[in-house]
Amino acid sequence: MNASIKEILKDEIRSASGHEADILPTPDATLGDYSTNIAFLIAKEQKKKPVDAATELNAVLESRVASFASIQVAPNGFLNFFLKPEFLRQRLGEIAADEKYGTSTQGAGKTVIVEYSSPNIAKPMHIGHLRSTIIGDALANIHEALGYHVIRWNYIGDWGTQFGKVIAGYKKWGKGKSDIAMSDMLEWYVRAGKELPDEEGQKEFKKLEDGDPENRELWEKFNRISLEGLKETYQLLGTTGFDVYKGEAAYEPQLKTITEELEKEGKAKESEGALIFDLEKYHLPPGLLRKSDGATLYLTRDLASLRDRLQNYAPAEILYVVANQQALHFEQLFAIARELHFTGAGLVHVKFGMVLGEDGKKLATREGKVVPLQEVMDKIISLAETIVKEKNPDLSGEDRARVARAVGIGALKYNDLKQHPYSDIVFDWDAMLDLSGNSGAYLQYTYARLANISAKAGTMETGDLALLSEPIEQKLMKQLLGFPDAVGRCAQTHALNGLALYLYELAAAASNFYETVRVLDDENGSRKNARLTLIRTVARTLQMGLKLLGIETLDRI
Ligand code: ARG
């Protein structure tokens, strides 16, 4: 039985009554596990009392769901479904044996491009790129688990006037320097911005655009150095590598032809010397494709890249994981794509909000600048190290550093993913590492405790699952059933907060379970093994869920 219980109930109701029912979780256990108000709808249509419609539907439905649920008709017309204990047991046995539980093949044969991170070269990655990296990496993991062929795409910002400034700065202050670092490039960029006239940078960029060999070589060198730096950051973050590093510069050579074609076909038109794409029909400002000085723009490059993605990868869907601020840009891009009949793929801007400090204001340095990512990572890892030292004083230096890194980075990721991406997220450093709150550290800690109990027991026998009759055991078994649904919904909603919440509730129920039920010293050996089966299965589900979120699990914290 792979479909979720909700889907099965929906299907049965559809074939019994021809109606599309909403299946809802119940507010409390006395009302069963799921309920539906479909009888209200039927009653209205057939001019009956809801309770009568419910009773009639129940007469047909009862035998159809008897293998897993019993139904109660409430006096107000609700149908309440109670999952049967023997069904839960049977499912636990199946789930325990299914190493791939939670994955599916629904995406088989379909390609999804997930574009994320996409930082700008010659400037350090900042916190907005961090959100994109965390969300995008997790969405890519989810699609892989659902059987899609996933292309992880890093659309590097490797073109633009900022390079003019870096080159101008280099020529002034960096000439002959042998081992150039990211920090040098940033320094030249900032200093050039302050001390050199704007024309200097513009001139160098123009030369680069025109193919000047010296500037071209410098550009390539700066790119290479930046990419090396980026890869170190990705490694520290523990994100999966990218399949495609193809940024804005790659499209530069085609832009002239593209804009000229659009102009010739009458799709784009001249306006005050610039080339624009009219989007009035979409109630959007016109898309600017070429400035009056001939320079092409961010939008033009995105259009070329979109065409490349569609033609060469035939994706079913392209997800652009980019900050809220660029919403208009993507609305324009998608509208132009529609006008040009770039069809076949769903285009989605997966937007996300800003990162706020504890004071509720946009996270910034004391001087009001964006906080470099490295600082954020260093801070959370060092805070995590303090906790690890406290919890586990005998962990040696190297091991402690490894655990602290996993806990710190896990905290950072979970704090982001547990919230809906649209919202601005707050960096409350203590809450992020709270071992008893809704944090990555808490989930990792719960996993480690479960793994520990299982390791201590040292047996892999299943035991008699019929002995799992405590309410908390029933609850845990029911929660396990929800995992595939929680994973699938992430792909539908392009958000991970539902899965994060699912994992948190599973962990909370698991903690409750091992705090109230004796496991290792249960004198009934068969029940002990059954409980261990439950523990192992929950632990594995937590581990798999966290892995999808990009969060490492550890055997001890
Ligand atoms: N490099 C851009 C920035 O940092 C983000 C790129 C987003 N992706 C895109 N296809 N435009 O703002």
CB 88 within 8 A of CB 477: yes
User: Helix (H, G, I), strand (E, B), or coil: what is residue 112?
Assistant: strand
Quote the ligand 1 centre to 227 CA distance (angstroms): 16
CB 461 within 8 A of CB 79: no
Catalytic sites, residue numbers: 123, 126, 129
pLDDT of residue 127: 85
Share of the chain above pLDDT 90, in %: 81
Among candidate residues 270, 168, 172, the one with its CA nearest the CA of residue 219: 168
Ligand 1 pocket test, pick from 114, 116, 118, 246 with the greatest ligand atom count within 8 Å of Cβ, gives 118
Q: What are the contacts of 396-399 at 24+ separation with CB within 8 A?
A: none
DSSP structure class, residue 19: -
Burial class, 278, CB count within 10 angstroms (exposed 0-12 / middle 13-18 / buried 19+): middle
pLDDT band per the 50, 70, 90 thresholds, residue 363: confident
Decide if pLDDT at 252 tops 70.
yes
Which atom of ligand 1 is the closest one to the Cα of 322?
7
Which atom of ligand 1 is the closest one to the Cα of 330?
11
pLDDT in tens, 404-463: 999 999 999 999 999 999 989 988 899 999 999 999 999 999 999 999 999 999 878 899
Ligand 1 pocket test, pick from 135, 322, 334 with the greatest ligand atom count within 8 Å of Cβ, gives 322
pLDDT in tens, 192-210: 989 999 899 989 998 998 8
Residue nearest to atom 6 of ligand 1 (CA): 118
Quote the ligand 1 centre to 237 CA distance (angstroms): 20
Quote the ligand 1 centre to 304 CA distance (angstroms): 14
Name the pTM for this structure. Answer: 0.93
pLDDT of residue 540: 98
Quote the ligand 1 centre to 397 CA distance (angstroms): 39
pLDDT of residue 479: 95
For residues 315 and 309, give the distance between their C-alpha atoms in angstroms, rounded to a whole number.
7
For residues 66 and 34, give the distance between their C-alpha atoms in angstroms, rounded to a whole number.
15
Q: How confident is the model over 517-534, as a mean pLDDT?
A: 95
Decide if pLDDT at 295 tops 70.
yes
- Looking at every residue in the chain, the average pLDDT score rounds to 93
Which atom of ligand 1 is the closest one to the Cα of 298?
11
For residues 348 and 327, give the distance between their C-alpha atoms in angstroms, rounded to a whole number.
11
Q: Which residues line ligand 1 (CB under 6 A)?
A: 115, 118-120, 155, 157, 302, 320, 322
User: Helix (H, G, I), strand (E, B), or coil: what is residue 242?
Assistant: coil
Q: Is the pLDDT higher at 296 or at 338? A: 338
Quote the ligand 1 centre to 157 CA distance (angstroms): 6
Q: Is the pLDDT higher at 491 or at 28? A: 491
pLDDT band per the 50, 70, 90 thresholds, residue 1: very low
Decide if pLDDT at 2 tops 60.
no
Residue nearest to atom 5 of ligand 1 (CA): 118
Burial class, 169, CB count within 10 angstroms (exposed 0-12 / middle 13-18 / buried 19+): buried
Which residues, listed in sequence order, are joined to residue 351 by a DSSP beta bridge? 322
pLDDT of residue 371: 77
pLDDT band per the 50, 70, 90 thresholds, residue 186: confident
Least confident of 189-193, 407-411, 544-548: 189-193
Q: Is the pLDDT higher at 206 or at 154? A: 154
Radius of gyration in angstroms for the set of CA atoms belonging to the chain, rounded to a whole number: 28
Report the C-alpha dihedral over residues 412, 418, 421, 426, rounded to 10 degrees: -50
Decide if pLDDT at 122 tops 80.
no
For residue 293, how many other CB atoms are within 10 A of its CB? 9
CB 160 within 8 A of CB 248: yes
pLDDT in tens, 315-343: 999 999 999 999 999 999 999 999 999 98
Query: Would you list the DSSP string of 146-207?
Result: TT-EEEEEE--B--SHHHHHHHHHIIIIITT-SS--HHHHHHHHHHHHHHS-HHHHHHHHHH
pLDDT in tens, 454-499: 999 987 889 999 999 999 999 999 999 999 999 999 999 999 999 9
pLDDT of residue 368: 67
DSSP structure class, residue 121: T
For residue 501, how many other CB atoms are within 10 A of its CB? 13
Ligand 1 pocket test, pick from 155, 305, 333 with the greatest ligand atom count within 8 Å of Cβ, gives 155
pLDDT of residue 3: 64
Which residues, listed in sequence order, are joined to residue 72 by a DSSP beta bridge? 80
Residue 23: partners with Cβ closer than 8 Å, 6 or more residues away: 6, 9, 10, 34, 35, 36
Residue nearest to atom 11 of ligand 1 (CA): 302
Residue 9: partners with Cβ closer than 8 Å, 6 or more residues away: 21, 23, 34, 36, 65, 69, 81
Decide if pLDDT at 59 tops 50.
yes
Share of the chain above pLDDT 70, in %: 99
Ligand 1 pocket test, pick from 130, 326, 334 with the greatest ligand atom count within 8 Å of Cβ, gives 326
Which atom of ligand 1 is the closest one to the Cα of 305?
10
Quote the ligand 1 centre to 210 CA distance (angstroms): 24
Quote the ligand 1 centre to 501 CA distance (angstroms): 29
Residue 431 CA, chain-centre distance (Å), reads: 21
Which atom of ligand 1 is the closest one to the Cα of 329?
11
Residue nearest to atom 10 of ligand 1 (CA): 302
CB 237 within 8 A of CB 229: no
